[in-house]
């Protein structure tokens, strides 16, 4: 399965919306037709260290359930860099226009540069 950055962003955003320490995000939080895609991306976020939680392992071809407890510091930092819809759309356009694949480090770098350019434009208007 190919990594889908919009799903990555969606999962991080939903994880941040969990309000209390006992709240978790799990596979049941999503429509069943998205189970495979969401489960795959939850596992990627765990592997990348952007969220804390666990995968429920079973030997089957079915999507694995997951229990995400919280964003890590790096997860918060990464989400903060791509939270703005404006910055996110411009960031994705940069990668498409240059024909470069997205990685966590590059996405964070480009999103930060895009946000800086937006801020410079806003500051220049004062």
| 42-61 tens-digit pLDDT | 999 999 999 999 998 776 67
Whether the per-residue pLDDT at 25 is higher than 70: the answer is: yes
| Per-residue confidence band for 19, with pLDDT thresholds at 50, 70 and 90 | confident
Mean local confidence (pLDDT), 13-20: 87
Beta strands 51-56; 25-26: pairing state: unpaired
Instruction: Give the pLDDT confidence of 76-95 residue by residue, as tens digits.
Output: 999 999 999 999 999 999 99
First CA to last CA across the chain, in angstroms?
Answer: 47
The SS3 of residue 29 is: helix
Q: Would you state the pLDDT for residue 126? A: 53
Q: Single out the residue of 31, 65, 23 nearest to residue 46, CA to CA.
A: 65
Q: Would you state the pLDDT for residue 40? A: 94
Mean local confidence (pLDDT), 55-76: 86
- Distance, in Å, from the CA atom of 15 to the CA atom of 71, rounded to the nearest integer, reads 7
Helix H segments across the chain? 5-17, 35-48, 73-82, 85-98, 104-124
Q: What is the DSSP letter of 50?
A: S
- Distance, in Å, from the CA atom of 113 to the CA atom of 115, rounded to the nearest integer, reads 5
Q: Give the predicted TM-score (pTM) of the model.
A: 0.88
Mean local confidence (pLDDT), 56-71: 83
Mean local confidence (pLDDT), 18-26: 82
Q: How far is CA 112 from CA 55, 92, 104, 106, in A?
A: 31, 12, 12, 10
């Amino acid at each position: 399965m190919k990594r889908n950055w919009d799903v990555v962003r969606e999962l991080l955003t939903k994880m941040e919306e969990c309000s209390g320490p006992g709240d978790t995000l799990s596979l049941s939080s999503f429509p069943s037709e998205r189970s495979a895609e969401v489960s795959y991306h939850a596992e990627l976020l765990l592997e990348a260290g952007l969220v804390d939680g666990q995968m429920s392992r079973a030997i089957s071809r079915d999507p694995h359930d997951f229990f995400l407890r919280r964003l890590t510091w790096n997860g918060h930092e990464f989400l903060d860099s791509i939270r703005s819809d404006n910055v996110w759309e411009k960031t994705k356009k940069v990668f498409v226009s240059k024909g470069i694949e997205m990685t966590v480090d590059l996405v964070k770098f480009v999103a930060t540069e895009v946000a800086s350019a937006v801020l410079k434009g806003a500051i220049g208007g004062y």
